[in-house]
Amino acid sequence: MRFSIDVGSELELKLYQAVLLYRNDHGNRHMATVHSVTQQNGDGSPVLGAGQLLSTSSLRELARQLGTGCPVEFLPDQVVARTPDLLA
């Protein structure tokens, strides 16, 4: 499997884990598992290994790591607040 993402500079990323999200039919119960990824011998397609249940704290840490990789920046005077999800 090959994929590309334009991140503004040269960066090689390789798939090493997958997070699967689950919910019941009513949409009121959720859970997540994390799986290692191995390469299948035949066509090179990724194959998921056994899953491990993710805790809420682990998911918060993952979200923190994904959402806060921004460099220091100077903002205009009219900007009151900035988070990874908000610019006000």
Provide the pLDDT for residue 68: 61
User: Where is pLDDT greater, at 1 or 14?
Assistant: 14
Please state, in angstroms and rounded to a whole number, the distance separating the CA atoms of residues 59 and 32: 8
Is 59 inside a domain boundary? yes
Is 60 inside a domain boundary? yes
How does pLDDT run across 35-87, given as a tens digit for each residue?
A: 998 877 677 788 899 999 998 888 888 888 877 666 667 778 888 877 767 77
Provide the pLDDT for residue 34: 92
Q: How many domains does the chain contain in total?
A: 1
pLDDT class of 1 with cuts at 50, 70, 90: low
Burial class, 78, CB count within 10 angstroms (exposed 0-12 / middle 13-18 / buried 19+): exposed
Please state, in angstroms and rounded to a whole number, the distance separating the CA atoms of residues 59 and 21: 11
Is 52 inside a domain boundary? yes
Q: Structural domain of residue 25, as residue ranges?
A: 17-87
The DSSP code for 50 is E
Is 82 inside a domain boundary? yes
Please state, in angstroms and rounded to a whole number, the distance separating the CA atoms of residues 42 and 57: 37
